[in-house]
Structure 1
Amino acid sequence: MADSLNRPAVLLVLHDVAPSTWTDYRPFVEAVDALGDVPMTWLVVPNFHRHNNLDAHTDFRRLLSARVARGDELALHGYFHDDQEPGPTTPRDWFMRRIYTHEGEFYHLSREAALARLRAGIDLFRRYDWPLQGFVAPAWLMSDGARQALRELPLSYTSDPQHLYRLPDFTSIDAPGLVWSARSAWRRGLSKIISDQREQHWRQAPVIRLGLHPVDMRHEFSRHYWLNTLERLLNEGRVPMTKVNWLAQQRGQQEHAA
């Protein structure tokens, strides 16, 4: 146990988890399970794109409950994972909401609107007895109102591509992450080049996050990259952990040092 506390970690994170994306993820998850005890963090969307309401998908909820029993973590990932707020009014907002992504659900929300969606997500987790500590905004985009809302709720962390943040004070913790843009062949090729460079740069990092998306699973090139990268990091001695367990370990080490 003491040895594992001193070893670097790898966090495998599945984004956009919903009934409609399980078909994409299933072969990959089965391949990871075959590697042994590799816990994952599943970023669950309560009603993905407004036509995947988890309340209506009993079998998928059972699957998620089984993953929790196995040792995986479920985190809240927005509520709808789409952006249907009033149109952008500035060039920056136009870029962020129409070019960078159409799914930045929490990018433009007021505190009151963010609270309503966050509370609805928390209520769903409670209905199905799923432990909940973390929230990740779709596309990692949050308005000031969304940040204010998070300070008022019983959640312990959120994140962006390169950091985890303890709530409610948004204490920043370096947690570098690899993520791909896999919508086209040239994007996949460029993503691999960038990811290979970043992985080498982060060889001594205490933790590396692997942020997977359903589109990554639809292409053999990107799917194999993620599985091969996970295996390589495990073979190099990194300990696979969920986000919440890694954060708990860091807090324990800080308290012990104090």
Structure 2
Amino acid sequence: MVERSVILVLHDVAPQTWADYQPFVEAVDALGTVPITWLVVPDLHRHNALAAHGEFLRLLDRRVAKGDELTLHGYYHCDDQPPPRTPKDWFMRRVYTHEGEFYRLCQAQALSRLAEGIELFRRHDWPLQGFVAPAWLMSAGTREALRQLPLTYTSDPQHLYRLPEFNPLDAPGLVWSARSAWRRGVSKVLSDAREQRWQSAAVIRLGLHPVDVRHAFSRQYWFDTLQRLLNAGRVPLTKTAWLATQP
């Protein structure tokens, strides 16, 4: 059993975000064997369906052959449901995020989108074990839909959940809000403190978003943190590989 691991996760993977990620991924590849978990959006914001981007599809094929993991990350990654009607919904869907695609879906809607995503992976012969909801927000209907599908895990910011029972495993994650300089500064302070607190954790997840790697300050933080955790003896694994080490 691997005692201490690190999982590098790229969120919002799509043709239009690859230009952001490419320099970072190339730098990680230069470190040696560091598998990456890619959270793939089949049609990000309904603008660029994967099927229309053959070169990007071939890139994902190469990453799978290299040992990386592709995970289904919503379908459109945008909230296309009727406008919010309660203060809580307004906060969650207009302040916390505009991208909680699965936050208000009923079971049938969630099942339909999940099934479409699973079919996309099947057509391209991409192994699929996990689903991560955009912004980690899932309705009760989404949870019920996941119980019916051949997936093995989902996650939130601090846990992985084995499906279909939703059994939780502690898997603390670092994630930034990087849209402005002050947010990046606060994120670094918080992340440094959390990393210290989690030194003995079985696993630490590094959850990057495209905006993180557009800025030199945050991009360098993630690269330095990955190197530091590797140098401390943490073994780099994908989500599925880490789950396989757990009882």
> What TM-score comes out, normalization by structure 1 length?
0.95
Give the AA of the match of 2:213: M
Please say if residues 2 and 245 of structure 2, whose CA atoms lie closer than 8 Å, have aligned partners that are also in contact.
no
Does 2:103 correspond to 1:107? yes
Query: Cα deviations across residues 130-163 of structure 1 (Å, max 9, x unaligned)?
Result: 0000000000000000000000000000000000
- 2:11 alignment partner in structure 1: 15
Report what 2:21 is aligned to.
25
How far apart, in 1, do the equivalents of 2:190 and 2:7 lie? 19
Counterpart of 2:161 in 1: which secondary structure?
strand
Query: Counterparts of 2:125 and 2:163 in 1: how far apart (Å)?
Result: 22
Instruction: State the partner residue of 2:62.
Output: 66
Check if 1:176 corresponds to 2:167.
no
Distance 1:203 1:96 in 2: 31
- SS of 1:50's equivalent in the other structure is coil
**Do the aligned partners of 1:7 and 1:237 also contact (CA within 8 Å) in 2?**
no
1:205 and 2:179 are equivalent in the alignment: no
Distance in 1 separating the partners of 2:2 and 2:135: 32
Q: Which runs of 4+ in 1 moved over 6 A?
A: none
Q: What is the RMSD of the two structures over their aligned residues, measured on CA atoms?
A: 0.5
Give per-residue Cα distances to partners, 1:59-111, cap 9 Å, x unaligned.
00000010000000000000000001001111000000000000000000000
Q: How many residues align?
A: 247
Q: Would you say the 8 A contact 1:15–1:44 is kept in 2? A: yes
Aligned equivalents of 2:202 and 2:242: distance in 1? 10
| Aligned match for 1:128, one of 121, 124, 129 | 124
Gaps of 5+ in 2: none
SS of the aligned residue for 1:41 comes to strand
Hey, what's the Cα distance between the residues in 2 that align with 1:71 and 1:61?
Answer: 16
* Alignment partners' CA distance in 2, 1:248 and 1:77: 21
- Which one-letter code corresponds to 1:203 in the other structure? Q
Q: Identity rate of aligned residues, in percent?
A: 72
1:243-254 correspondence runs (5 A): 243-250=239-246, 254=247
Give, in angstroms, the shift of residue 6 of structure 1. Answer: 3.8
Whether 1:185 aligns to 2:181 is yes
